Amino acid sequence: MTDFTIIGRPGLSLGRFLAQNRSRDLEKLAHQNGKQLFGMFAEIYDPYQLDHHEFGGAKPMNPFVRREVLSHLGYKKLDFPYVHPSWKNDGEAVKGLDFCFMPSDENVCEIPSDLVIKFLTKYYSVLSTKPQEWYSMIEQLERKENIVLLPL
């Protein structure tokens, strides 16, 4: 899962540095384990669904800019309505995010829903209290064979 790091000063090329090094490290790890990297997941804010865009006043964290940059890196939106369980473990549903995937092969236009389900259930297994909307989302994904990748 690609997570974002808050960068407070623009113009340092830290985003590019982090993206390139993460990619190189993941490729190396896959190679060491006899695997081929298929891609990476990311939760990406949809600024058109949000009212609050400040992120502490850090311009590089502007969700419009971040979304555009991640699109240029190759991330694509998975075609389903995404619900994020709150990290407060209070059973609240967090919305305004898209669940995305950056395939290693840019010609990949869909991925197996089973891959998404396994990832999300393992990733959020630490949370004992998830919203009903999250469980409904997983049930809907279980009815699909593949999930289409859409442009961001």
Q: What is the pLDDT of residues 59-71, one digit of tens each?
A: 656 778 788 888 9
How far apart CA 59 and CA 99 sit, in angstroms, is 23
- Give per-residue pLDDT as tens, 29-61: 999 999 999 999 999 888 888 766 565 566 656
Tell me, what's the pLDDT at 63?
79
Tell me, what's the pLDDT at 53?
57
Residue 131: domain span = 14-150
Q: Residue 113, by phi and psi: left (phi above 0), alpha (psi -120 to 50) or beta?
A: alpha
Amino acid at 74: G
Residue 68 lies in a domain: yes
Residue 8 lies in a domain: no
Phi, psi of 49 (to 5 degrees): -100, -5
Tell me, what's the pLDDT at 86?
93
Its pTM stands at 0.85
Tell me, what's the pLDDT at 57?
62
Tell me, what's the pLDDT at 88?
94
Residue pair 106/51 in contact (Cβ under 8 Å)? The answer is: no
Residue 140 lies in a domain: yes
Tell me, what's the pLDDT at 64?
80
Residue 99 lies in a domain: yes
Residues 6+ apart with CB under 8 A from 86: 92, 93, 94, 127, 131
Residue stretches of the chain with pLDDT short of 50:
none
Tell me, what's the pLDDT at 61?
66
Radius of gyration of the chain (CA): 16
Q: What is the DSSP string of 109-140?
A: -EEEHHHHHHHHHHHTTT-S---HHHHHHHHH
Residue pair 34/56 in contact (Cβ under 8 Å)? The answer is: no
Residue 56 lies in a domain: yes
Number of domains in the chain: 1
